[in-house]
Structure 1
Amino acid sequence: MNVVSADTLSKTVKIGDSLVGKVGFGAMLLTMTPNPVPYDQAFDAIKAGVDSMPAGVKLFINSGNFYGHDRPSANLDLLAAFYQKYPEHAERTFLSVKAGCDGSERSVRRAVDNINKLLRGTKQLDLFECARVDPSVPIEETTRTLRELIEEGEFSYIGMSEASSATIRKAHVVHPIAAVEIELSPWSYEGEAKKVIATSEELGIAVVGYSPLGHGFLTGQIKSRDDLPSGDARLRLDRFSKEGLKRNSNIVEGLKKIAERKGISAAQLCIAWVANLGDHVMPLPGSSKSGRVLENLAAGLITFTKEEFDEIVQLVESLSVYGLRYNKAMEGTLWG
């Protein structure tokens, strides 16, 4: 099993003026679950990632002002407590926070203000992004508001989430976009994702690939709906329906065989595959276990030959993924 060591974190991704590790840390499932992990365990997981970064490189942490099962503020409450306990780690991390808000000036300003209040002065907000593109507000208008907030010192960089390549171009004209967050994994690599990756490379934008493990399914650890706790958000996704789990299991078995040949875990295979999509692409897995965090980070240094990379693409294409990325009700919110 590949585990991170002092000399394996040489790869980085540039976001604005910051260098971050090739693999980020998704904090969502620390709190957005029916069974949130204890603070001490979450702190150990985050700290393991931070401590593994070489000098001058930050751990990218992704949070949201709605990442909580019982209360929306749970994730930011946890991070504020972490930074309060480890204030020296504030400068060693790059914090990206998204908000579930519409694109109007009033809503965006309220969201940014709320995030900064929840952080309680423990950490400067590095990057802000609206969780989805609001179809009722021109993206140029939303971006102008975000530009004003940067000028006012509320945060440093603008990010986008689930945005199409055309929308990214429109926003980038108003103010440079530093990062775009989209779902990327061997079973989530659709045509628009390829366009976003290409457009972002052209414009000097980092791509943050969330759910590189297919919401955990591609690790092979989830075999039935009973493996997820009651109330888990994944139970509402097409691919986690009874039929979806059954029909997509062949993809997992195929990935596991390829991983075994390479001497790595299925999880590392998926993270590494996303990392190999481009120098500007950063996989964003999450874990509440410090050992797993180190394994995830190490995966960013695993390389593929063209034949190995294409084998994974061809495997998924030949077996055909069953189900939408989310579900019919939510599909309209994607690729704004």
Structure 2
Amino acid sequence: MRTATLGRDTTTEIGVIGLGCMGMSWGYDERGRDERTSIETVHRALDLGCTLIDTADQYGPFTNEELVGRAIAGRRDELVLATKGGLVVDDPATFRAHRDGRPEHLRAACEASLRRLGVDHVDLYQLHRVDTEVPVEESWGAMAELVAEGKVRALGLSEATVEEIRRASAVHPVASVQSELSLWSREPLADGVLQHCTREGITFVAYAPLGRGFLSGRYRTSQDLPEVDGRHFIPRFTPEALAANQAVVDPVRKVAERRGVTAAQVSIAWVLAQGERVVALPGTKTPRYVAENAAAQALTLTAEDLAELADLPAVTGTRY
């Protein structure tokens, strides 16, 4: 697996494709969740060099960290462990949550995450969302104290603006920014976040590089979605939007067929093509898809491929 450095001020190397663990416990298809298979998935990821293992206290809530903790037992030295704090779930059924960036909350959240994960430190602790009611300098300062205490090795932001990244960087180095980036979610390119990260030596972690599964081609109608699945709450997955958005995924499938790969691999390869500091973070709960995703790191898209993918039609529906 090719690697990238985590931030400018660390020597930590991570595989350019990581593993998002959320779906093992939260958010997507609730059928068929199996702890043994999830643990096998984490182990398969590590075997393939997908060393960035990402979770959050929100997922479950809390249960995903416990699962990841059991999965990495005995293999702690093989991975870069990332978790997040700063989002508090109000209603698990509807995924409603609120932001809490108060220093006292973040400290307590991080310490609770360490207990659930069964570790004495995490390699990357991320502010899940900037709390507009709390100056980012205060949230970031509290997180920097965790670094000084050895509980955290590096700090990251999630879904932050360029201005928020700059303000945080003035307090303590920002090692990573995690935001949604895919062929149907190009906002970090449009708002300059990815370009800022590139200039400043900040690793950009692209979550949902498969468009929450849509870009794999598996979901052509709402009937293809599991009955209990958080995507039913996402505007891009309404029946009308799914029908309209086939115009987005069909060209991806065309490129995949020409190259002899899957649409998912084309989607991940496009994300990686956005810069040498970009890391893709697809989520899955099965070893089979870990292997398929990991193989995308060997796919180099041609100029023809990239030109076709640049001309995809506008997406119907917002991200949230």
TM-score by length of 1: 0.87
Residue 307 of structure 1, CA deviation: 3.4
User: 1:73 is matched by which residue type in structure 2?
Assistant: F
Residue number among 12, 27, 49 corresponding to 2:3 in the alignment: 12
Match of 1:249 among 228, 232, 246: 246
C-alpha deviations, 1:40-77, integer Å up to 9, x for none? 11111111111122xxxx60011011211xxx121111
CA distance in 1, matches of 2:300, 2:104: 45
Contact 2:208 2:281 in 1 (8 A): yes
1:133 maps to 130
1:254 is matched by which residue type in structure 2?
Answer: P
**2:261 is the alignment partner of 1:272:** no
1:63 matched to which residue of 2? Answer: 55
> What is aligned with 2:81?
95
Distance 2:121 2:187 in 1: 35
Structure-to-structure mapping, 1:263-302, within 5 angstroms: 263-302=260-299
Aligned-residue offset at 1:308: 2.0
The separation in 2 between residues aligned to 1:149 and 1:35, in whole angstroms, is 37
276-285 vs 227-236, which deviates more? Answer: 227-236
**Would you identify which runs of 4 or more consecutive aligned residues in structure 1 move more than 4 Å?**
191-194
Looking at structure 1, the residues matched to 222 and 172 of structure 2 have their Cα atoms a distance apart, in angstroms, of 44
Q: Report which stretch shifted further, 202-211 or 225-234.
A: 225-234
Q: Contact (CA 8 Å) 1:160, 1:179: kept in 2 or not?
A: yes
Task: Structure 2: give runs of 5+ residues left out of the alignment.
Answer: 88-98
2:180 corresponds to which letter in structure 1? E
**Deviation of 1:191 (Å):** 5.8
Matched AA of 1:116: L
Amino acid at match of 1:126: D
Unaligned runs of 5+ in 1: 1-8, 327-336
Count of residue pairs the alignment pairs up: 303
Aligned match of 2:93: none
Q: Kindly state the Cα deviation for residue 102 of structure 1 after the two structures are TM-superposed.
A: 1.3
In structure 2, the residue matched to 1:73 is 62
The CA deviation string for residues 185-214 of structure 1, in whole angstroms up to 9 with x for no partner, is: 001112655511111111111000000110
What letter matches 1:67 in structure 2?
A: Y
What displacement does 1:27 show? Answer: 0.5
SS in 2 for 1:156: strand
Corresponding letter in the other structure for 1:62: D
Contact 1:185–1:270, Cα closer than 8 Å, also in 2: yes
Are 1:165 and 1:192, in contact at CA under 8 Å, matched by a contact in 2? no
Instruction: Please show how residues 170-189 of structure 1 align to structure 2 within 5 Å.
Output: 170-189=167-186
Answer whether contact 1:272 1:303 (CA < 8 A) is retained: yes
